[in-house]
Amino acid sequence: MNLDFTPEQDAFRAEVRAWLDENLSSRLADKVRTSKHLSKQDMEDWHAKLHARGWLANHWPEEYGGPGWGPVEKFIFEDECAMANAPRIVPFGVSMLGPVLLKYGSDEQKAHYLPRILDGTDWWCQGYSEPGAGSDLASLKTTAVKEGDHYIVNGQKTWTTLGQHADWIFCLVRTSKEGKPQEGISFLLIDMKTPGIEVRPIHLLDGDHEVNEVWFSDVKVPVENLVGPENQGWTLAKYLLTYERTGIAGVGFSTSALAELKAVIGKTEKATDPLFAARVARVEIALENMKTTNMRVLASAAGGAAPGAESSLLKIKGTEIRQEINALFMRAMGPQAQPFISEALEEGYNGPEIGPEGAAWAAKDYFNNRKLSIFGGSNEIQKNIVSKAMLGF
């Protein structure tokens, strides 16, 4: 693969950079850079700006509202957004459900849901994990029993990110107990306003309400909300997870975090520590190698193939890199990373600062990002996938 950018691609990078300079406010960029909590309005405003420019669904075909980019343009755009400290696009509608509908949805489902994802009419969340079904997702217990022209859904989902904002949830549900566990799962779209749905918050260590439990009690869902054939949802689930795992790699976010780490080091005693410098160098080399793999996977997806074990490799290495950068932040801050003031993560905080810039959010990012190697399929499960798919055992 030729990793040199063409003049046209360099011009595209300049175009993206100029647009970000004009449209990304310093207030929002600073909130992202300093890991402050983003409001729903922050995320919706950024969604709307990208949609107006035609850059929101950057991996969708042009006929459905995408920009028609190839993998290199997508990489450049995401890299520039991360380096500019733009908010991450909320992935559930655009990056997860969208590709599933494009490949497996009916014409009616595409015509109805895709435009509403783009214009922000519908905010989506993901209903995969359950208390007893995380990495072993096939053991899920939430049931959907067909009665006439509806399914009756009962069960519980957990770790539902931003579910408190969602209008709709795409769910894996059990529609049959026959055969292997994977053979009785279906992919269902559920309106969160349907009677019988309860969202219960889960507050994280930093006080943020990011994830939730979602309970279903005799929830009626029209049969036309089934995506793909009944009992074939596992195929759709795996297809969606390849996109999620590629995104979890977070190449652009690691690039941005590494640049911030380098800027912070000079203000600490680690500036002259050769062993610390060697750790920074190792993670930078790993990141550069991962960029190449990421572009390979994107090129495969652009050719119409769903990324396979390569996306698992990206998920493993990408999350390890991001966690190592978080650990280096903590080490650079030293004892000044220990105090935690949750109010410092809210916009408008003007209380006392502890240590150099970066100390306030070092611990928050370190602990919050321990989840990266767990969600989307734990790294241990990803290693099993790689072993079976690429090594044959």
pLDDT tens digits for 251-268?
888 999 999 899 888 888
The predicted structure's pLDDT at residue 2? 57
Mean pLDDT of 138-155: 97
Mean pLDDT of 171-180: 94
Task: Flag whether 288 is in a domain.
Answer: yes
The predicted structure's pLDDT at residue 302? 57
The predicted structure's pLDDT at residue 125? 98
Which residues does residue 191 pair with via DSSP β-bridges, in sequence order? 168
To 10 degrees, what angle do helices 233-248 and 274-302 make? 140
Confidence of residue 134 (pLDDT cuts 50, 70, 90): confident
CATH number at residue 326: 1.20.140.10
Confidence of residue 248 (pLDDT cuts 50, 70, 90): low
Task: Flag whether 97 is in a domain.
Answer: no
The predicted structure's pLDDT at residue 236? 94
pLDDT surpassing 90 at residue 211: yes
Residue 268 and residue 374 in one domain: yes
Alpha-carbon dihedral angle through residues 17, 20, 25, 26, given to the nearest 10 degrees: -20
Task: Flag whether 236 is in a domain.
Answer: no
The predicted structure's pLDDT at residue 298? 65
Q: Six-digit token pair at 213?
A: 């439990």
d(CA 75, CA 80): 9
Residue 299 and residue 365 in one domain: yes
The predicted structure's pLDDT at residue 322? 94
Residue 342 and residue 378 in one domain: yes
| Last residue of one domain, picked from the residues 89, 111, 145 | 89
Residue 226 and residue 263 in one domain: no
d(CA 370, CA 376): 13
Mean pLDDT of 313-340: 90
pLDDT surpassing 80 at residue 136: yes
Mean pLDDT of 127-149: 93
Range of the domain at 70: 7-89
The predicted structure's pLDDT at residue 311? 78
Task: Flag whether 293 is in a domain.
Answer: yes
- The region of weakest confidence among 219-223, 272-276, 330-334, 387-391 is 387-391
Per the structure, the count of domains in the chain is 3
User: Mind giving me the DSSP string for 106-119?
Assistant: -HHHHHHHHHHHHT
Residue 131 and residue 227 in one domain: yes
d(CA 59, CA 99): 8
Nearest to 14 by CA among 89, 62, 77, 67: 77
Task: Flag whether 105 is in a domain.
Answer: no
Mean pLDDT of 3-7: 78
Helix (H) or strand (E) holding 349: none
- The region of weakest confidence among 33-47, 276-290, 344-358 is 344-358
Q: Is 199 helix (H, G, I), strand (E, B) or coil?
A: strand
Strands 124-127 and 168-174: parallel
Residues 6+ apart with CB under 8 A from 215: 155, 156, 197, 198, 199, 200
The predicted structure's pLDDT at residue 250? 81
Q: Which one has a higher pLDDT value, 267 or 41?
A: 41
Confidence of residue 30 (pLDDT cuts 50, 70, 90): very high
Q: Six-digit token pair at 147?
A: 């009665």
The predicted structure's pLDDT at residue 301? 61
Q: Six-digit token pair at 70?
A: 């190839």
- The region of weakest confidence among 48-57, 99-108, 132-141 is 132-141
Confidence of residue 336 (pLDDT cuts 50, 70, 90): confident
| Last residue of one domain, picked from the residues 231, 263, 296 | 231
Q: From residue 372, how far is each of 41, 173, 233, 239, 376 by CA, in Å? A: 25, 24, 25, 19, 8
The predicted structure's pLDDT at residue 244? 60
Residue 343 and residue 384 in one domain: yes
d(CA 381, CA 363): 27
Mean pLDDT of 59-75: 89
Q: What share of the chain is helix, strand, coil (3-state, %, to 5)?
A: 55, 15, 30
Q: Six-digit token pair at 351?
A: 């209380």
Residues 6+ apart with CB under 8 A from 205: 364, 367, 368
d(CA 243, CA 170): 15
Taking the model in full, what pTM does it have? 0.87
| Last residue of one domain, picked from the residues 196, 231, 266 | 231
Task: Flag whether 311 is in a domain.
Answer: yes
pLDDT surpassing 60 at residue 183: yes
The predicted structure's pLDDT at residue 269? 87
d(CA 193, CA 198): 9
CATH number at residue 180: 2.40.110.10
Task: Flag whether 53 is in a domain.
Answer: yes
Q: Are 356 and 295 in contact (CB under 8 A)?
A: no
Counting residues of the chain whose pLDDT is more than 70, the rounded percentage is 94
Q: Six-digit token pair at 298?
A: 């994107």
Query: Residue 164 carries which DSSP code?
Result: G
Residue 54 and residue 136 in one domain: no
Helix (H) or strand (E) holding 210: strand 209-222
**Any idea how long the chain is?**
393
Residue 152 and residue 48 in one domain: no
pLDDT surpassing 60 at residue 242: yes
Phi and psi at residue 200, in whole multiples of 5°? -115, 125
Nearest to 35 by CA among 326, 297, 300: 326
Task: Flag whether 312 is in a domain.
Answer: yes
The predicted structure's pLDDT at residue 374? 86
User: Mind giving me the DSSP string for 300-345?
Assistant: HHHTTPPP-HHHHHHHHHHHHHHHHHHHHHHHHHGGGGS---GGGG
Residue 222 and residue 252 in one domain: no
Residue 70 and residue 163 in one domain: no
Residue 139 and residue 254 in one domain: no
Q: Are 108 and 224 in contact (CB under 8 A)?
A: yes
Counting residues of the chain whose pLDDT is more than 90, the rounded percentage is 61
Residue 151 and residue 278 in one domain: no
The predicted structure's pLDDT at residue 342? 82
The predicted structure's pLDDT at residue 337? 85
Mean pLDDT of the chain: 90
Q: From residue 72, how far is each of 6, 53, 82, 147, 342 by CA, in Å? A: 10, 19, 15, 47, 39
- Active site members: 244
- The region of weakest confidence among 21-25, 54-58, 99-103, 302-306 is 302-306
